[in-house]
Structure formats: structure tokens, C-alpha cells
Amino acid sequence: MVPPMISRRLVLAVLLLCRFGVGWKADIRADSNRDGRVDIDGNTDLADKDEWSDLAGALFLANIGDTDGRCSQIALSGDRLSDEALAACNDASDDIQRSPGYMALIRTVPIQGLEDGAWANVQVTEEISRKNVRLFRQEQDEWIITTNDYKFNASELEAGLNLGIDARDTRRPSGWDGRAQVHLHVQNELEVQVDDVYLRVAPILTSHHLMDVSEVLTANVNDSKAQIKFVSDLRDILNDPNLKKPLWLFNHSDDVWAQDFVEPAYTSMPGSEGPITLEVMIRSSQGSRTAGRQVFEYLRKTGRGAVYSTGGTRNEIDSMGNLETIPPYSFKDKSFPAGRIIEGSHAKSYPSYPHVYDYMKAQEFQEPLVLDTDWLAVGHVDEIVQFLPANTPYGWALYIADLRAGIKILEDAKEQHGDTPAFSRLNDTYTREGLGDVPGLTIAELLTDKLISATKDLLRNSTPS
Ligand SMILES: *[C@@H]1O[C@H](CO)[C@@H](O)[C@H](O)[C@H]1NC(C)=O
Ligand SMILES: *[C@@H]1O[C@H](CO)[C@@H](O)[C@H](O)[C@H]1NC(C)=O
Ligand SMILES: *[C@@H]1O[C@H](CO)[C@@H](O)[C@H](O)[C@H]1NC(C)=O
Ligand SMILES: *[C@@H]1O[C@H](CO)[C@@H](O)[C@H](O)[C@H]1NC(C)=O
């Protein structure tokens, strides 16, 4: 039997609670309205607290840079790491906060009048989010990793908690989609108050040709005369005092196609002094293209990370040259403020889309558009379309390889120049004999070549543009 005295007091307490509430409130906040700061004095961050949409709700970053090249140095100093191990090391791969500038802040509104024994947990709910998210608390100048069962005390709650959040990984097609629910539980004697704030990892976005160039990458391949000349010409252009851009050379293999084994990208969230942006190099999902390992070994640094996912093949469809970015535009009810990805499909020879398609789609922001590139010999989308700055309403233009116009140039030239060699380039591209031979055809011979005939048939059967 419960003594009547206690039950009367309990009833009274419950009645008082109902009438006046507990007089204090659990209130955890992030930059939900994306203005670059966490507002705990006003209410600007309240409305979008439980938003996970494109337009609202707090963002945080996959903190996958490599501060001071720590992971790169590890990769270069020991035994050769597997591709997966190489990609696994980054600023967020352990529990130390090396790059607090890329953390998003979370704060709690100070609570007054708690009992001495009051305590609180801040938990990342859902196992998959918990695994991929790092939560830190600030103690003096240090950021200390904080688990779901860590107990904050009354004086910390009275001062208000200063927390930081970052992710160990990006959004992935199968696995974590970047969502995190951060739950605050405050216990004051028998009273419990809870609150939640919802955050999502910012998407990885590919760069487009309207963005400023910061650095130029190509490959230094010493057995290709053409590439040696290309690098030397490029160096001259970049050294021009009006341009002055650094040139970085891959040097691991004879793979000249830097455009194919890496794609520059970035991820970004609002900050108090403008966007906070981390560069992210995407290595092509082509393990056998070992040149791509240098993305992890040399190109990462403070403020720049890299990602790689296994599963693709050396099959041409998985080359990054088969991925381009349409600069920002909107059309009808669709808008692509960070541009839109375009990739080539090889429907006949390869039934799946490029391996990276699923990864980019999982970012949910540059929805890939797919073009049939199966009719090309190699089949990369960059062989036929390119997007360049231009004085147009969008600020850019689509350049497209015009097969009809190309064949017409040859046909017009045939009359007077039929005996002229069709290719000006000589058989001196590579130092190795036979590699990259240039066909020795004249213009007249080329026009009767079977590839050109096949192309003409193809064009005849398709609608003229
Ligand atoms: C509360 O926690 C902080 C941080 O760990 C600590 O410095 C402080 O002494 C604690 N206060 C009490 C009253 O235990
Ligand atoms: C390749 O380039 C890196 C970075 O510039 C350099 O440290 C390394 O020594 C080069 N390796 C070779 C074999 O030239
Ligand atoms: C050419 O480059 C390869 C790496 O691709 C390197 O092993 C070789 O030493 C280089 N040869 C010369 C002559 O520089
Ligand atoms: C290049 O070499 C190949 C093979 O020897 C030959 O068929 C072709 O005519 C040559 N091309 C030119 C442009 O000399």
C-alpha cells in the first residue's frame, strides 16, 4: 500500500506540473535556417529544426580532409596499402578533432534553476547515424569526442552546451544517407525534458566550368611525345603572368588520362563568414588505374579530401571523362543551383549505368542526366558535349561535336584537297613504336572509310538537329 500522504503529494506535484510546466525546458539548436550561425537568443533557428529538405534544416560536413597531409604521409611511408585502406584514412577516421573549422556547431539554450544532481545526454539516434557521426563537446580550447552515454552536469547545462558535429563519411547509395537526429535528454530529479534537432550531411557536388580554376592537374608521362609537348605548352600558358595557376603532375604510370581517373568536387555548408567549403577529389571506381591512388597520396591536404568507392571496372563507362557537369540552370519547374551531372550510358555493351551514377544520385542535388554514348568508339560523354562560359542568358553554352558538320567539311575539301593527308599529326606521338599510330589516309580515302560510312548511316537514320 502506498502511504496516503505520498500519493497526495504526488497528485499535487502532477497537478502543479500540468498547470505551470516544469519552469525549464530542454532546447537544442543548430543552424537550421542556414544563415551561418546558431541562434540561441532569438527564434530564427526554431522553425526549421526538424527539416531535412534541400532548402532548410541544418547541414554538416563529412570532415574528410587530410590536415597537414597526415594520412598521405602514412600512405607513402609504410607498406603499400590496399585501395580501401588508402581511402579509409582521413581527418574523421578516428576520434581526434584535427579540423574544427569544418565542424558544424550545436548549442543548447542555458537552463536556470536545476538541482545540483541534474544531468543530460546528447545522443545521435539510429545506429547507422551514430556510426557515421562524430559529436564533440568543448572543454576550454579542446574538442572532446562525446558518446551517447556521456553525462553533462548541472553547471554545464546552466552555462549552455557548446557542441560540434561532423561526419566520418559522405552520403552513400547503400548505407548511410547523411541524416542525423540529435536528441537532448535532461533529467532534473524526477523531471525529464527532451528536445531534438535534425541535421544532414551536405552533398558532394562536382565542379563545373563556370567556377574559378584553382589548380590544374595533368599527367607527366615520359614515353608519350604528345603528352610531353602538351605538358610543356600547358606549363607556358599557366605561367603567363596574367594567369599564374599552379600545375600538378601525376607521375605514377603511363596513364595520360587524368580527366578519367579523377573528378574535382566539393562539399559546403553556411558559415558565419560565408560558405565553409571542403574540396573533395573523386577517384574513379577503377582500381586497376593505379594512377588514381595519387589522389590520396599527394592531392589531399588541409581543406581537401578524397573519396573512392570500389565496384566499378576499367570498362570505359566508369571513367570520369564519362561524367561532366552542366553549370547551374533552371528549366520549367526544375532547378539545379549547383549544376547537374551528365553521364554516358553504354546500353548495348554494358547494361548498368556508370558505377559513380549511384554515388552522385545519392547526393540528391545534381540529379545525373544520362545520354547514350554507346555509339562512340570509347564512349565518354566528354567526347561529344562540353559546357563553357558564354554570353548567354544562363552564362554558359553547350558545345556539341557536330558529326554532320565535320563530315561536310571533309566533303567540301575533297574537291580540291582529296589527296591531302586527312590527319596533320604524325606517327610520333609515343616513343614506343606502333603505339597510337595515326592512320595514313587522304581526305578522299577517309570519306570512303568504313567508320565514316557507318557514321553517315547512323546520321541518316536519326533525326537531324
Ligand atoms: C561539471 O562538468 C565540468 C566539465 O567536465 C567540470 O569542469 C565541472 O567541475 C563539473 N561541475 C560539477 C559541479 O561537478
Ligand atoms: C611524383 O610526384 C610527387 C609529387 O610531386 C613527388 O614527390 C615524387 O617524387 C614523384 N615521383 C617520381 C617517381 O617522380
Ligand atoms: C618514366 O616514367 C616512369 C613512371 O611512369 C618511371 O618509372 C621512369 O623512370 C621514367 N623514365 C624516365 C627516363 O624518366
Ligand atoms: C603510321 O604508321 C602506320 C603503321 O606503320 C601506317 O599505316 C600509317 O600510314 C602511318 N601514318 C602516318 C600519318 O604516317
Instruction: Work out the mean pLDDT of the chain and round it to a whole number.
Output: 92
Residue 341 in this model has a pLDDT that exceeds 70: yes
Please enumerate in sequence order all residues whose Cβ is within 8 A of that of 347, keeping only pairs 6 or more positions apart, or say none: 372, 374
DSSP assignment, residue 274? Answer: B
Which residue, judged by its Cα, is nearest atom 2 of ligand 2?
251
Bridge partners of 188, per DSSP, are: 191
Residue 4 in this model has a pLDDT that exceeds 80: no
Per-residue pLDDT averaged across 198-202, rounded? 98
What is the per-residue pLDDT for 433?
A: 67
Angle between helices 450-460 and 403-417 (to 10 degrees): 130
Q: What is the best residue among 146, 156, 157, 161 to mutate for testing ligand 1's pocket, by most ligand atoms within 8 Å of CB?
A: 156
Q: What is the best residue among 221, 222, 252 to mutate for testing ligand 3's pocket, by most ligand atoms within 8 Å of CB?
A: 222
Please enumerate in sequence order all residues whose Cβ is within 8 A of that of 446, keeping only pairs 6 or more positions apart, or say none: 410, 422, 439, 452
The C-alpha cell at 11 is 497528485
- The answer to whether residues 287 and 83 touch, using CB atoms and an 8 Å cutoff, is yes
Bridge partners of 205, per DSSP, are: 266
Least confident of 70-74, 107-111, 203-207, 446-450: 446-450
Per-residue pLDDT averaged across 115-119, rounded? 97
Per-residue pLDDT averaged across 410-439, rounded? 85
CA distances from 450 to 190, 405, 421, 447 (A): 85, 18, 17, 8
What is the per-residue pLDDT for 18?
A: 47
> In CATH terms, is domain 205-401 a member of 3.30.70.100?
no
What is the per-residue pLDDT for 284?
A: 97
| Strand positions, DSSP E, 308-446 | 323-326, 329-331, 334-336, 340-345, 369-372, 385-389, 396-400
What is the per-residue pLDDT for 448?
A: 93
Residue 209 in this model has a pLDDT that exceeds 80: yes
Which residue, judged by its Cα, is nearest atom 4 of ligand 2?
298
What is the per-residue pLDDT for 22?
A: 66
Bridge partners of 180, per DSSP, are: 199
The C-alpha angle 152, 154, 157, rounded to 5 degrees, equals 70
Which one is predicted more confidently, 63 or 11? 63
Residue 161 in this model has a pLDDT that exceeds 90: yes
What is the per-residue pLDDT for 9?
A: 54
Count of other CB atoms within 10 angstroms of residue 73: 12
Per-residue pLDDT averaged across 208-236, rounded? 93
Pocket lining: 222 vs ligand 3, CB cutoff 6 Å? yes
Let me know if 269 is exposed, middle or buried by CB neighbors in 10 A (0-12, 13-18, 19+). Answer: buried
Position in ligand 2 atom list of the atom nearest CA 251:
1
The C-alpha cell at 124 is 545521435
Q: What is the best residue among 119, 152, 153, 161 to mutate for testing ligand 1's pocket, by most ligand atoms within 8 Å of CB?
A: 153
What is the per-residue pLDDT for 324?
A: 98
Query: Sheet holding 133-139: strands in order across?
Result: 28-29, 104-108, 162-167, 133-139, 142-145
What are the pocket residues of ligand 2 if the criterion is a CB atom closer than 6 Å to any ligand atom? 251, 298
What is the per-residue pLDDT for 271?
A: 98
| C-alpha of residue 17 to centroid of ligand 1, in Å | 29
Helix (H) or strand (E) holding 208: none
Pocket lining: 144 vs ligand 4, CB cutoff 6 Å? no
Write the pLDDT tens digit of every residue in 241-280: 999 999 999 999 989 999 999 999 999 999 999 999 999 9
Residue 19 in this model has a pLDDT that exceeds 50: no
User: Measuring CA to CA, which residue among 97, 398, 101, 403 is closest to residue 276?
Assistant: 101
Confidence at 437, pLDDT banded by 50, 70, 90? confident
Pocket lining: 431 vs ligand 3, CB cutoff 6 Å? no
Indicate the domain borders of the chain.
23-63+99-198, 205-401, 404-460
Pocket lining: 158 vs ligand 1, CB cutoff 6 Å? no
Write the pLDDT tens digit of every residue in 376-400: 889 999 999 999 999 999 999 999 9
Confidence at 464, pLDDT banded by 50, 70, 90? low
Pocket lining: 44 vs ligand 4, CB cutoff 6 Å? no
CATH number of the domain at 23-63+99-198, out of 1.20.120.550, 2.40.110.10, 1.20.1260.10, 2.60.40.1700? 2.60.40.1700
| Beta strands 58-60 and 119-124, pairing class | unpaired
Residue 3 in this model has a pLDDT that exceeds 80: no
Count of other CB atoms within 10 angstroms of residue 314: 13
Per-residue pLDDT averaged across 332-339, rounded? 96
- Alpha-carbon distance of 157 to 117, in angstroms, equals 11
Could you tell me what percent of the chain has a pLDDT over 70?
93
Residue 14 in this model has a pLDDT that exceeds 90: no
What is the per-residue pLDDT for 459?
A: 83
What is the per-residue pLDDT for 2?
A: 44
What is the per-residue pLDDT for 290?
A: 95
Per-residue pLDDT averaged across 433-458, rounded? 86
Residue 89 in this model has a pLDDT that exceeds 70: yes
- The answer to whether residues 405 and 459 touch, using CB atoms and an 8 Å cutoff, is no
Residue 45 in this model has a pLDDT that exceeds 90: yes
- The answer to whether residues 99 and 276 touch, using CB atoms and an 8 Å cutoff, is no
| C-alpha of residue 434 to centroid of ligand 4, in Å | 8
What is the per-residue pLDDT for 1?
A: 41
Least confident of 303-312, 354-363, 412-421, 435-444: 435-444
Per-residue pLDDT averaged across 107-117, rounded? 97
